[in-house]
Amino acid sequence: MAVVAAAACVVLLLLTGNGCDAARPVTTSDKFTNHQTPRESDQAYYGVIVTMDVYGLHLSDEQSSVSSVWLRDEGDGALSSHNAIEIGWETDGFQKTRCHNTNCTVGFQPANGAPIGLGDVIQTLSQPKGLKQNITLKVIKDDLALIGRFPRTIFTGGMADRASGIRFGGYVSTRTTDLAPMESGYLPTTDVMVAASISNIQFIDRNGQALVVTQDLPTYMSDPNIYAVTPIVDGRFFYGGPLQSSV
Ligand SMILES: *[C@@H]1O[C@H](CO)[C@@H](O)[C@H](O)[C@H]1NC(C)=O
Ligand SMILES: *[C@@H]1O[C@H](CO)[C@@H](O)[C@H](O)[C@H]1NC(C)=O
């Protein structure tokens, strides 16, 4: 059985223009597979809701796997004006120097009554070919003072008002030449029923209304033969890849 209890962990990363991300260790390979709102669009997003299947595949110390949703704004284009909130879950992971959870900022206020919190270990995991278990994540600009439960004052530029883009999917990193399994490890193009899904995808509009994403969005895949996403249909897509037989 490949399932290792307590291997998955919800993380929340906050990346701002202050160079948080610069601490990332160099990895041999970073692979990703995402959907992303069109870059050229002049859209404003006030939040996002997603439901993600959660898996606990065993990874080596050299491997890290993340499933997440990003809200971002690129400001005036200069790296120092980029702002983003990334939330999701990860398995194992050696990227301890990143700004996980509330390490990079102060003033995060957990939502009252949330069943999971930042940094919690997720106990209920999907079986690779069996029952799927999920978490629902919400990042919402809910009043004038908080953005995704962070104080608005930590955001600069456009992000203090809205995000201009949203991206969701998975990425894996390794420090060796081995491939790391992403999510369930199964490619959705081979067998969609055992691949991981992100469903219930909703964007929050200016009026605070949550709208299910019914249209497909552009995809970004570093290695589509190895890690892939399917089109979005009714607010859901499948993604991931490739389980090595030795795992
Ligand atoms: C937060 O920072 C502390 C000290 O810098 C570090 O020991 C810890 O691993 C960090 N935690 C996360 C989740 O990044
Ligand atoms: C999330 O998991 C629960 C429990 O397995 C299930 O009842 C529910 O339908 C799932 N939700 C989605 C959106 O997949």
Cα(133) to ligand 2 centroid in Å equals 6
Residue pair 37/166 in contact (Cβ under 8 Å)? The answer is: yes
Pocket test for ligand 1, best of 100, 106, 118 (most atoms within 8 A of CB): 100
Domain contains 1: no
Residue pair 63/174 in contact (Cβ under 8 Å)? The answer is: yes
pTM of the model: 0.81
pLDDT of residue 20: 36
Most confident listed range (132-141, 175-184, 194-203):
194-203
Look at residue 186 and give its three-state secondary structure. Answer: coil
DSSP 152-168: GGG--GGGGT-BSEEEE
Domain contains 175: yes
What is the atom index within ligand 2 of the atom nearest the CA of 236? Answer: 13
Cα distance between residue 181 and residue 60, in whole Å:
10
Beta bridge partners of 210: 204
Domain contains 166: yes
Domain contains 245: no
pLDDT of residue 53: 93
Most confident listed range (101-105, 141-145, 176-180):
176-180
Can you give the residue range of the structural domain that contains 79?
8-240
Burial track 20-37 (b if 16+ CB lie within 10 A, e otherwise)? bbeeeeebeeebbbbbbb
Nearest to 181 by CA among 128, 124, 123: 128
pLDDT of residue 6: 33
Domain contains 72: yes
Number of structural domains in the chain: 1
pLDDT of residue 85: 81
Domain contains 3: no
Q: Ligand 1: which residue has its CA nearest to atom 2?
A: 103
Count how many residues are written for the chain.
247
Confidence of residue 73 (pLDDT cuts 50, 70, 90): confident
Domain contains 105: yes
Is the minimum distance from the CB of 101 to ligand 1 under 6 angstroms? Answer: yes
